[in-house]
A and B are shown apart, each in its own frame.
Chain A
Amino acid sequence: MALSKKSKTAFTDPLMSNNPISLQVLGICSALAVTTKLDTAVVMSFAVIAVLSVSNTVISILRKMIPAKVRIIVQLSVIASMVILTDMVLKAFFYDISKQLSVFVALIITNCIIMGRAEAFAMQNGPGRSLLDGLGNGLGYGLILIGVAFFRELLGFGTIYNRQVIPESFYQAGYENMGLMVLSPGAFIILGLIVWAQRIIGKVEEE
């Protein structure tokens, strides 16, 4: 099945030129707390991709049946059910990581990306295109999350995906892990710099 151009942009736009975190400024809440290490960031990204694409599809299928007045609460309950499912899957198969993610999996419910996409895209478009839009936005979110986690883990622990990458000789020569990166300010600063870099490369004009 060949994809129409519009479906394609629904998928590719959010990856770079209209990234949900760095350009639409949505869903930062949960993005930063889980990025001290790559493994939690990767699991969190998959959780968000799953919730976002499924909830987008379901809401898009239901869009003609949802009365406009109560649409927010309907969207919230669809999203919350997906989040509960995801939480249970994580608890069953990735228990250690789900312990580290603690409340942040449940907080996917209030992640503005998911509500935002449901409201802005899934309510107007068909299920197929909404699924692509959900996948694209989820991946765009994941890209930034993994980018932030990469730098924080590298600079803060000297590891990548729990493997030591900074050689021992560096430490003997006086190199030290940057404790600040593990703490919350590190996340804000790295994300600020990523946004800056992306705006320079992407040639986005600030309003």
Chain B
Amino acid sequence: MEHYISLITKAVFIENILLAYFLGMCSFLAISKKVDASIGLGLAVTFVLTITAPTNWFIYTFLIGDGALAWANLPEINLSFLKPIVFIAVIAAMVQLVEMVIDRFSPALYQNLGIFLPLIAVNCSILGGSLFLVEREYTLLESTVFGFGSGLGWFLAIIAMASIRYRLRYSNVPLKLRGIGITMLLTGLLSIAFMSFGGIQL
């Protein structure tokens, strides 16, 4: 149990997927202008990461990894070079599926999350999460926990940034620094703040 708690803390704070690995920056910069939209996108990313991580783990372990086809008497086949294209296809399909399920069962949630879901297929943090879990050789449960933790970390970071940018309206930022410039500098400071969690052992 402690192992999983430590994994989740690591994914949320110490190795935050946005602030330490720079994944999902494009939508982070574009969406963090508005607090409401940030909450919606943050929730959607967390949700999609939590379900795509174990799905891609299954696909990799039983279909395309080295020797993964052993159950079909084909142990010498290694399809791992297909990893990027298969993962992105799985992610796009999962996003589509999630969109349809939410639309069917919870129109209210669809109203809030719906417009963000298509954006997520090309959010690097989702693909990055799946690629990391292969590289770090996580088990199924570890992958799920890692996916959820990464999503939560991304959620925290975008909400923090949206709130800072909201307050920033009252500040006198140099004209040429407005927009992306100041956001990058702020992200740097936020990243320093998150680094102070480093070294915490649970």
User: Digit string of A145-158 for contact with B (CB within 8 Å is 1, else 0)?
Assistant: 00000000000000
Q: Residue on B with the closest CB to A80?
A: B85
**A206 adjacent to B127 (CB under 8 Å):** no
Q: Residue on B with the closest CB to A76?
A: B88
Restricting to A174-207, which residues have a CB under 8 Å from any CB of B?
A: 180, 183-189, 191-193, 195-196, 199-200, 204, 206-207
- The minimal Cβ–Cβ distance linking A103 to chain B, given in whole angstroms, is 4
- Residues from chain A with Cβ under 8 Å of B181 in the complex: 192-193, 195-196, 199
User: Digit string of B158-187 for contact with A (CB within 8 Å is 1, else 0)?
Assistant: 000000000000000011111111111101
**A80 adjacent to B26 (CB under 8 Å):** no
Partner of A29, one of B26, B135, B179, B182: B26
**A188 adjacent to B23 (CB under 8 Å):** no
Known: A29-B25, A33-B21, A199-B176. A189 touches B132 (CB 8 A): no
Q: Residue on A with the closest CB to B173?
A: A206
- The minimal Cβ–Cβ distance linking A121 to chain B, given in whole angstroms, is 17
- The minimal Cβ–Cβ distance linking A198 to chain B, given in whole angstroms, is 9
Q: SS class of chain B's interface: helix, strand, loop or mixed? A: helix
Restricting to A104-132, which residues have a CB under 8 Å from any CB of B?
A: 106-107, 109-112, 115
CA distance A187 to B22 in the complex (A): 9
Interface size classification for chain A: 35 or more
B81, B126, B188, most chain A CB atoms within 10 A: B188
**B131 adjacent to A107 (CB under 8 Å):** yes
Q: Residue on A with the closest CB to B26?
A: A112
- Residues from chain B with Cβ under 8 Å of A196 in the complex: 174, 176-177, 181
- Residues from chain B with Cβ under 8 Å of A30 in the complex: 22, 124
**B22 adjacent to A25 (CB under 8 Å):** no
CA distance A107 to B25 in the complex (A): 12
- Residues from chain B with Cβ under 8 Å of A80 in the complex: 84-85, 88
CA distance A25 to B183 in the complex (A): 11
CA distance A31 to B21 in the complex (A): 10
- Residues from chain B with Cβ under 8 Å of A32 in the complex: 22, 25
* A interface with B by C-beta (< 8 Å): 22, 25-33, 72-73, 76-77, 80-81, 83-84, 87-88, 102-103, 106-107, 109-112, 115, 180, 183-189, 191-193, 195-196, 199-200, 204, 206-207
* B interface with A by C-beta (< 8 Å): 19-26, 29-30, 81-85, 88-89, 92, 121-124, 126-128, 131-132, 135, 174-185, 187-189, 191-192, 195
The 10 closest A-B pairs by CB, nearest first: A192-B184, A188-B188, A80-B85, A192-B185, A103-B131, A189-B188, A29-B124, A199-B176, A28-B25, A106-B84
